[in-house]
Structure formats: structure tokens, C-alpha cells
């Protein structure tokens, strides 16, 4: 009778040990996955900040005006170059 109890306890002990090893393995695997996801989130946050900075730089009026002058040969409107249209005039 004592031999059967010892065998059952040994089997239970081995089962618990295997369960513990498996739980630790899963915990480590999930922790590594979490670290990778957090690193990816940090990288995306950096890229988002860079894109916001680029957007604010590209949208400045002085830059747009300089590009219009340089690339499109545009000039600012002056009163001498303005044509006024009036309704009813022939």
C-alpha cells in the first residue's frame, strides 16, 4: 500500500514539475513578446513625432512661398498688377 502511495505521489510531483517548467517557459516567451511590442511602439512613437515635425515644417507659409517663387516662377501680387472687375461695366 505504501508503495502505491509513493508511486502516485511521484507521478503527481513529476506532473507538477512539468507544469511549472511549462508555465515558466510560457511566461518568458510572453515577456519577450511584450518587450518586442513595446520596442516597436517606441519606434512608432519616434516616427510619429518625426512626421509631425516634418508636416509642420512643410506647411509653413514662408517655405510654400519660397517654393512657389523658385519652382513656379510666381511673384506676389502688387496693386500695380491687380485688375479689378466691376459689375455692369462695358
CA-based torsion, 77, 82, 88, 90: positive or negative: negative
pLDDT digits (tens, 9 = 90+) for 36-73: 999 999 999 999 999 999 888 877 888 888 888 888 88
Q: Is 84 helix (H, G, I), strand (E, B) or coil?
A: coil
pTM for the model stands at: 0.56
Q: Could you tell me the three cell numbers for 77?
A: 501680387
| 8-state DSSP, 82 | -
Tallying the residues shown for the chain, one arrives at 90
Q: What per-residue confidence (pLDDT) applies to 9?
A: 94
Amino acid at each position: 500500500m505504501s508503495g502505491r502511495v509513493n508511486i502516485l505521489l511521484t507521478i503527481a510531483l513529476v506532473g507538477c514539475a512539468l507544469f511549472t517548467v511549462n508555465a515558466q517557459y510560457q511566461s518568458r516567451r510572453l515577456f519577450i513578446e511584450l518587450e518586442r511590442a513595446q520596442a516597436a511602439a517606441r519606434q512608432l512613437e519616434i516616427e510619429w513625432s518625426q512626421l509631425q515635425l516634418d508636416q509642420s515644417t512643410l506647411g509653413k507659409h514662408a517655405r510654400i512661398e519660397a517654393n512657389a517663387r523658385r519652382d513656379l516662377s510666381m511673384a506676389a501680387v502688387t496693386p500695380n498688377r491687380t485688375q479689378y472687375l466691376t459689375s455692369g461695366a462695358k
